[in-house]
Copies of this chain bind each other. A is one copy, B any other.
Amino acid sequence: MKPNCTNPEWIGRAKCAVCDVRNFVLFAGLSVPELDAILQPIDNLHAAPGAVLYEQGAPAPSVYTVRSGLIKLKVDLPNGCQRIVRLLRPGDVVGLEALVGERYHHSAIVLQDADICRIPREVVIRLDQTSPQVHQALLQRWQRSVDQADHFITALSTGSAEARMARLLILLGCTVTDSDFVFPSREDMGALLGITTETASRIVAEFKRRGLVHMDKGSYIGCDQGALSRLADS
């Protein structure tokens, strides 16, 4: 068995040179020698749901890239409530604020079994300065964060609770490539959409009754994309 990031058994030093997602994550475009020079401080992590990558307000020494799984970025509000402001999926970069600031702005928590690379900020800063490709990729990731935040405003924080839920399911449905996909908890759905847990539960239950989503014992099977899209545009 050769060490390979795609092997779930293998945790530890990342081998980005043989990493399947290398081509669409941060280091796309680097040559193998370039990669070797910076691989040492990079760690590959496998995290189960509930694992915390970092906490809001904590010192920010590292940036993370998501190789598989699903991560939520959560903000604690002054009144004690919580709001999820982003969902991060394979190819996304987490904690970019580490490159320009001292502390993380959110708490990053694993929602679905995740394979993650942790990269010291100094490594990324140096690469950003020496490699035009990495630099360009970095700008694109930053813009991607902005786009995702905008999507949370326009799609998940606007309109009726039903329409928001339909849009969330469409967003999540895009990730259904592996069959072990599981729904977020109703509580997380509420925090994603700015509604209560009960309302989230009611709407999902109603969708199931209407045949818009199919699931067996909590695990996702499929959904009626057309009907959901119609609800989303209402």
Which of B79, B129, B139, B234 has a CB less than 8 Å from the CB of A234?
A: B79
Q: A96-B143, A101-B143, A142-B143 are in contact. Are A79 and B159 (CB under 8 A)?
A: yes
Task: Find out whether the CB atom of B234 lies under 8 angstroms from the CB atom of A153.
Answer: no
Q: Chain B residues near A149 (CB, 8 Å)?
A: 146, 149-150, 152-153
Considering only residues 74-99 of chain A, those with a C-beta below 8 Å from chain B are 75, 77-79, 81, 83, 85, 96-97, 99
**A20: interface (CB < 8 Å):** no
**Does A107 lie at the interface of the complex (its beta carbon under 8 Å from any beta carbon of B)?**
no
| Complex contacts, A78 vs chain B, CB 8 Å | 232-233
A152, closest chain B residue (CB): B153
- A232 CB contacts on chain B under 8 angstroms: 78
Is A100 interfacial (CB-CB < 8 Å)?
Answer: yes
Which of B99, B105, B153 is close to A139, meaning CB atoms less than 8 Å apart? B99
Residue in B closest to A233 when the chains form the complex, CB atoms: B78
Q: Could you pull out 24 A-B pairs where Cβ atoms are within 8 angstroms?
A: A77-B154, A78-B232, A78-B233, A79-B159, A79-B234, A81-B158, A81-B159, A83-B153, A83-B154, A83-B158, A85-B153, A97-B143, A97-B146, A97-B147, A100-B140, A129-B132, A138-B139, A142-B142, A142-B146, A149-B149, A149-B152, A153-B153, A153-B157, A157-B157
Name A residues whose Cβ lies closer than 8 Å to a Cβ of B.
75, 77-79, 81, 83, 85, 96-97, 99-101, 105-106, 129, 132, 136, 138-140, 142-143, 145-147, 149-150, 152-154, 157-159, 194, 232-234
Q: A77-B154, A81-B158, A157-B158 are in contact. List 8 more A-B contacts (CB 8 A).
A: A83-B154, A85-B154, A96-B146, A97-B143, A100-B143, A138-B139, A139-B142, A149-B149
